[in-house]
Amino acid sequence: MTDTYNEVIELLKKYPEILFGFTDIHFSEYSSKYKGALVIAVPHSQMLALDTYDEQLFEGLIAEARNKGNAILKELESILQKGDYDCKYEIPPVAQTSEETLVAPFSFKYAAVNARLGWIGKNGVLITEKYGPRVSLFAMLINFDFPAALPVINSKCPEDCFECVKACPHDALKGKQWDIHTQRSELIDYQLCNQKRRLFIKSHNRKHSCGFCMVSCPYGL
């Protein structure tokens, strides 16, 4: 299976702008079926700040990154589907399955932390050194012993930085500094955030992207 690993790495090197890492998935219910996960962070093609923020532009950048990430996953699938590899894999759903719990079957953010791509900010999203939170995450569960990274266990956000907290128009962020044991409810009122975003479904035919807490982050600018 070494050839599988090498071919995956060579494919990912074709995209020098992306971040990627491998993690075991002991933290996930999928761990009974798969040994680990490949996690990919695709940066937005434009690093928006508060003074350049536009909701529709932000949504467009997310869609663009989503298309690119999905295309990379397709290329990875073609490698893993080869007859001489026959490696079991699965692409977990990105979105939560319940508007009540707002919990996805597989936590892409926690997987990214465990794959050492970044940490969780006071805004409740992944922060990367290079791009800040301006990335879209993708994951592929793979039944293969890839070399797993050591997780990031503490936030690198300055203790006295509250730019994302101040930028939230709904006061949904609580200003707590994250570590590996922090629960998401300690960082953000997800129900309030979701409720405010849902108000735009009728006018936008989707939830409001509301990226204030992301574009206000000084990392990546």
172 within a domain of the structure (yes/no) = yes
Does the pLDDT value for residue 207 go beyond 80? no
pLDDT of residue 162: 98
Contact between 102 and 188 under an 8 Å Cβ cutoff? The reply is no
- Please indicate, yes or no, if residue 119 is contained in any of the structural domains: yes
pLDDT tens digits for 108-122? 999 999 999 999 999
Q: What pTM value is reported for the model?
A: 0.91
Query: What residue numbers bound the domain in which 195 lies?
Result: 2-215
* Amino acid 132: pLDDT: 98
pLDDT at 111: 96
Give a yes or no: residue 35 inside a domain: yes
pLDDT level of residue 144 (50, 70, 90 thresholds):
confident
198 vs 176: CA distance, rounded Å: 25
If one counts the domains in the chain, the total is: 1
Residue carrying the six token digits 């465990």: 114
pLDDT at 161 over 90: yes
Q: Could you tell me which residue, 77 or 105, shows the higher pLDDT?
A: 77
Between 199 and 133, the more confident residue is: 133
Band (3; pLDDT cuts 50, 70, 90): confident
Does residue 34 carry a pLDDT above 70? yes
For residue 86, pLDDT over 70 is answered with: no
Using alpha carbons, select from 196, 191, 221, 220 the residue that is nearest to residue 210: 196
Structure tokens at 30: 């999928």
Q: Which residues pair with 179 in a beta bridge?
A: 154
Domain membership of residue 221 (yes or no) is: no
Note whether residue 220 is domain-resident: no
Q: Among residues of the chain, what percentage have pLDDT more than 90?
A: 74
Q: What pLDDT score does 141 carry?
A: 95
Let me know if residue 155 belongs to a domain.
Answer: yes
| Average pLDDT estimate for 192-207 | 81
For the cut 70, the answer to whether the pLDDT of residue 100 exceeds it is no
Distance, CA of 68 to CA of 188 (rounded, Å): 29
- Region 6-15: mean pLDDT is 94
Q: What is the chain's mean pLDDT, rounded? A: 91
**Residue 28 within a domain:** yes
Residues 180 and 150 sit within 8 Å (Cβ to Cβ)? no
